[in-house]
């Protein structure tokens, strides 16, 4: 729907040129950050975001307030990550624009699947360790 709306502009819209906020590194990064920076940013920011989600929804957390830290953290990671890669922290969010943009966006999509998975796994292991019930 977004592409249809954008094509309604008087001068039209080409997703392969406009980018449709697709994630990217190198020349396709908003700040022209390289692959290593993009990989590190996506891993660390996903780790932070998922750690907050898992912590604020754990049994030990105060019920009913999880949305506040989750929303604020999502805002923070986007403020940090958008200039680096157009930030994903979600492979589905990366895949949609990449399909419409094609070319370079599909070629770089692997990073925006691999990095969030690595960051999420690390957050999961940390949460499992932090929230483990004592068995003594």
Total count of domains within the chain = 1
- Output the pLDDT for position 135: 45
Q: Does any domain span residue 121?
A: yes
Q: Does any domain span residue 71?
A: yes
Q: Does any domain span residue 6?
A: yes
Q: What's the CATH number where 46 sits?
A: 1.20.1080.10
Q: Does any domain span residue 135?
A: no
Q: Does any domain span residue 45?
A: yes
| Residue 120, CA distances (Å) to 96, 113, 115, 125, 131 in order | 20, 11, 8, 9, 16
pLDDT of 29 > 60? The answer is yes
For the stretch 58-89, pLDDT in tens is 988 899 999 999 999 999 999 999 999 999 89
pTM: 0.87
- Output the pLDDT for position 25: 96
Q: Does any domain span residue 136?
A: no
Who's near 42: CB < 8 A, 6+ residues apart?
Answer: 81, 85, 87, 88, 89, 111, 112, 115, 116, 119
What is the span of the domain harbouring residue 104?
2-130
């Amino acid at each position: 729907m977004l592409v249809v709306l954008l094509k309604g502009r008087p001068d039209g819209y080409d997703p392969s040129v406009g980018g449709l906020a697709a994630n990217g590194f190198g020349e396709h990064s908003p700040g022209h950050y390289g692959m290593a920076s993009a990989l590190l940013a996506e891993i660390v920011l996903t780790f932070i975001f998922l750690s907050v989600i898992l912590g604020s929804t754990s049994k030990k957390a105060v019920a009913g307030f999880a949305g506040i830290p989750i929303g604020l953290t999502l805002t923070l990671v986007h403020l940090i990550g958008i200039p680096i890669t157009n930030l994903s922290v979600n492979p589905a969010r990366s895949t949609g624009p990449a399909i419409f943009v094609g070319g370079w966006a599909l070629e770089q999509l692997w990073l925006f699947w691999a990095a969030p998975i690595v960051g999420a796994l690390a957050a999961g292991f940390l949460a499992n360790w932090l929230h483990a019930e004592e068995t003594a």
